[in-house]
Amino acid sequence: MDDDITPDVEALRTALAAHGITLPSLGVDPVTFAGSYIRPPLVALGDCNVATARQLTDVLRRAAGG
């Protein structure tokens, strides 16, 4: 199994940026990346301020048709 999820993280970063959303802490979770017990590693979405959370919510609702 390919555990390099960096391309997936970058694709997510690009998709979010297309909607004007930046998650500064977006990356590969270092604990699950280094560990051998969780496959594949987890994506760390990180912290964001309330304005970014609202923007993300809005984009997701519009994408879902609501």
Encode pLDDT of 3-23 as tens digits: 688 899 999 999 999 999 999
Would you tell me how many other CB atoms lie within 10 Å of the CB of residue 41? 20
**pTM for this entry:** 0.79
Q: Please give the distance of CA 2 from its chain centroid, rounded to a whole number.
A: 18
Do you know the residue count of the chain? 66
DSSP state of 37: S
Q: Give the model's pLDDT for residue 29.
A: 86
CA distances from 65 to 14, 19, 36 (A): 22, 16, 39
Q: Give the model's pLDDT for residue 21.
A: 94
Distance CA 13, CA 27 (A): 9
Per-residue pLDDT reduced to its tens digit, 50-64: 999 999 999 999 999
